[in-house]
Structure 1
Amino acid sequence: MRVSVVTVSDSCHAGTRTDESGPKLVELVDKSLRVNATVNEGSPTVVPDDVTAIRNALLESCKNSDLIITTGGTGFSKRDVTPEATLEIIERRCSGLEIAMHLGSIKITPMAALSRAIIGIHGSTLIINMPGSVKAVKECWETVEPILNHAIELLKDTDDGSEHQRMRR
């Protein structure tokens, strides 16, 4: 699977803060023993907390990605607009994955309830919003990692149903 990472942060985009969560996501994908993935060159892309900039980065990344993971912009502040940008382009929302990711994080800290992360599908690309901290990115990755191969197979229509049958046994 081809993966793009998008960091959403005004300060990282302006160069006043170093992006740590985007590179952490790239590392987690690269080192995964569960996900057969290649991170696209140029990841992470860093964009400001702006709906248009986020939407454009997502649409551009959809052209060559099976999976896009965003980090940042999912909280309660007025500048946190990653979910709104994601909702503008997804065709189907993946509420089960959203719930799983939120529950996994809430088990670690009640503050995870403040995340407004969205997961959805644009065409045949899965888009996952994650919070902006390195710790939260790692926790969210651990929740979705075991599911991603099968999810992408389903989106590519390459799955013959055998995995689903194994999961039901």
Structure 2
Amino acid sequence: MQWKVAILTASDKGSRGEREDTSAQVIRELVEEELTGIIVDYRIVPDEQDEITAALIEMIDYYQADLVLTTGGTGLASRDWTPEATRRVIDREVPGMAEAMRFYAMQKNRSYMLTRSICGIRGQSLIVNLPGNPKGVHECLMAIMDQLPQALRMLSGLPGE
């Protein structure tokens, strides 16, 4: 099965073209290599809760993404609003995935306990918040990669393994 994946970067500097979006590139590579997914939408928005919320809704409701992977906006800074925007649009949280990402990443760097990433379901789609740096994206996404196909199958109503 080829999953439809959308990538959303929350970054003030990235949205102004002042920073290259290397985290999204890591996501793209992992999605194509590990998940056999196809990218159906990619965008960079400023760290504004309303813009993040609107982008998440459009990616799922219009582009029919099975999986939305966000990067950025999950820390403790005053401009980090991705988890709050995600909570606005999801029907239910999937706390085990966020816990697994934090646990796995903390084995390498204890500062990952400070990430506020969440994972949740909107309709039949899964949203996963990832950190804003390429190394954190790689570690956190690989922590759950083996379970993503099963989660997506369950959400789409397909039989599991």
TM-score range, shorter chain: over 0.9
- Cα deviations across residues 75-102 of structure 1 (Å, max 9, x unaligned)? 0000000000000111100011111111
Match of 1:16 among 11, 15, 18: 18
Once residues 74 and 112 of structure 1 are traced to their aligned partners in structure 2, the CA distance between those partners, rounded to angstroms, is 10
- Deviation at residue 18 of structure 1 after TM alignment: 1.2
Once residues 12 and 36 of structure 1 are traced to their aligned partners in structure 2, the CA distance between those partners, rounded to angstroms, is 27
After superposition, where does 1:70-149 map in structure 2 within 5 Å?
A: 70-149=70-149
**Where does structure 1 differ by over 2 angstroms across 4 or more consecutive aligned residues?**
none
- Deviation at residue 36 of structure 1 after TM alignment: 3.1
RMSD of aligned alpha carbons: 0.9
Structure 2, unpaired ranges of 5+:
none
TM-score, length-scaled by structure 2: 0.95
How many pairs does the alignment contain? 157
**Which of structures 1 and 2 has the bigger CA Rg?**
1
Once residues 93 and 119 of structure 2 are traced to their aligned partners in structure 1, the CA distance between those partners, rounded to angstroms, is 6
8 A Cα contact 1:4 1:69, kept in partner: yes
- Deviation at residue 120 of structure 1 after TM alignment: 0.3
Which residue does 1:166 correspond to in 2? none
Once residues 143 and 99 of structure 2 are traced to their aligned partners in structure 1, the CA distance between those partners, rounded to angstroms, is 10
Which residue does 1:60 correspond to in 2? 58
TM-score, length-scaled by structure 1: 0.90
- Cα deviations across residues 82-136 of structure 1 (Å, max 9, x unaligned)? 0000001111000111111110111110000010001000011100000000000
Structure 1, unpaired ranges of 5+:
164-169
8 A Cα contact 1:2 1:37, kept in partner: yes
- Deviation at residue 23 of structure 1 after TM alignment: 1.5
Once residues 9 and 37 of structure 2 are traced to their aligned partners in structure 1, the CA distance between those partners, rounded to angstroms, is 19
- Deviation at residue 27 of structure 1 after TM alignment: 1.3
Same amino acid, percent of matched pairs: 37
